[in-house]
């Protein structure tokens, strides 16, 4: 079975950046901040590439829903080897309130339009930490799902997926078409080489709007407040065990 694979690649604030809350407490500072592809999505692209190298996948389409700059994320996916891209443009103001259900509806529609039989996503986006898009996409399409995948093997028209669950691994067989979400240990993504970056410049990125796909992205959630985690108070140093016991007594702990 030659697979047509759709991979979701979200542009997020780079994992190494120290996040700053906006003065209005309604979001985080994104301007002038380094962004990258969501790390779990790099793993999803890598897995798609491995399927292509094994001649199991025929075409790999990288999709990003987001503002103009999301095209850079698609280019990265193309440089890693994806065949073409689809950019579903969402204005920055709508992007902040874009919910997993909106993205899932977009993926479900594109899956039908593009005759897709495998959707590979990250297990979660590190900005919103939702961990919902894959599950919702599978539900909308009525497809099987293999979430938190740490190993996938294609077996005819089904897939064996090793899932990372609490305290162990679960093996499931899922029938294709399916949605699979990548966990950290699935693979180690490749770096794009200079020739592949050059080649990626010539690959095609189609541009669409949610309206083109017939999807309403009106926010259903309002962010009420965003706060920094509480600052840890400085500790106290004590010289002896007795001093420590006294301190604990003072604090009413013992």
Find out whether 85 and 93 touch, Cβ atoms under 8 Å. no
Q: Distance (Å, rounded) from C-alpha 164 to C-alpha 151?
A: 9
Nearer to ligand AMP, 36 or 38 (CB): 38
Token reading at 148:
């938190």
Closest CB 111 distance from ligand AMP, rounded Å: 13
Calculate the dihedral angle through the C-alpha atoms of 134, 169, 2, 197, rounding to the nearest 10 degrees.
Answer: 70
CB of 127 to ligand AMP, least distance (A): 8
Beta carbon of residue 182, minimum distance to ligand AMP (angstroms, whole number): 8
Q: Which of 59, 94 has the CB closer to ligand AMP?
A: 94
Q: State how far the Cα of 201 lies from the Cα of 224, in Å rounded to an integer.
A: 41
Report how far residue 148's alpha carbon sits from residue 39's, in angstroms, rounded to the nearest whole number. Answer: 14
For ligand AMP, the closer CB: 174 or 210? 210
In whole angstroms, how close is the CB of 156 to ligand AMP at the nearest point? 26
Percent composition of the chain: helix, strand, coil (DSSP 3-state, to 5): 30, 30, 45
CB half-sphere exposure, 163, CA atoms < 13 A: 15
What distance in Å separates the CA atoms of residue 65 and residue 91, rounded to the nearest whole number? Answer: 10
Gyration radius (Cα) of the chain, Å: 22
Nearest CB to ligand AMP, comparing residues 131 and 158: 131
Nearest to ligand AMP of 3, 43 (CB atom)? 43
| Rounded Cα distance, 63 and 86, in Å | 5
Least Å distance, CB 124 to ligand AMP, is: 3
In the bound complex, what is the minimum distance in angstroms from residue 102's beta carbon to ligand AMP? 8
Select 121 or 152, whichever has its Cβ closest to ligand AMP: 121
Q: Count helices and strands (H / E) in the chain.
A: 7, 11
Interface with ligand AMP (CB under 6 A) = 8-10, 38, 40-41, 44, 63-66, 100, 103, 121-122, 124-125, 128, 130-134
**Cβ-closest position to ligand AMP:** 122
Nearer to ligand AMP, 212 or 243 (CB): 212
CB of 12 to ligand AMP, least distance (A): 9
Give the integer Cα–Cα distance in Å for 239 and 242: 8
């Amino acid at each position: 079975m030659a697979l047509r694979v759709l991979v979701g690649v979200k542009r997020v604030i780079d994992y190494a950046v120290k996040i700053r809350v906006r003065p209005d407490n309604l979001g985080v500072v994104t301007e002038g901040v380094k962004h990258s592809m969501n790390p779990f999505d790099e793993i999803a692209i890598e897995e798609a590439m491995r399927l292509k190298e094994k001649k199991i996948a025929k075409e790999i389409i990288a999709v990003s829903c987001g503002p103009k700059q999301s095209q850079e994320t698609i280019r990265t996916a193309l440089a890693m080897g994806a065949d073409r891209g689809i950019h579903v443009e969402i204005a920055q103001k709508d992007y902040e309130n874009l919910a997993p259900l909106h993205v899932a509806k977009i993926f479900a529609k594109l899956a039908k339009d593009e005759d897709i039989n495998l959707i590979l996503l990250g297990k979660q986006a590190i900005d919103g930490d939702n961990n919902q898009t894959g599950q919702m996409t599978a539900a909308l399409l009525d497809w099987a799902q293999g979430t938190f995948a740490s190993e996938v093997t294609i077996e005819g028209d089904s897939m064996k997926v090793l899932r990372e669950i609490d305290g162990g691994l679960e093996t499931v067989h899922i029938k294709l078409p399916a949605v699979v979400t990548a966990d950290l240990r699935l693979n180690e993504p490749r770096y794009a080489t200079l020739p592949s970056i050059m080649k990626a410049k010539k690959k095609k990125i189609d541009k669409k709007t949610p309206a083109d796909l017939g999807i309403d992205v009106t926010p259903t959630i309002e962010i009420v407040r965003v706060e920094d985690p509480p600052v840890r108070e400085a500790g106290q140093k004590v010289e002896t065990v007795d001093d420590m016991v006294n301190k604990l007594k003072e604090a009413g702990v013992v």
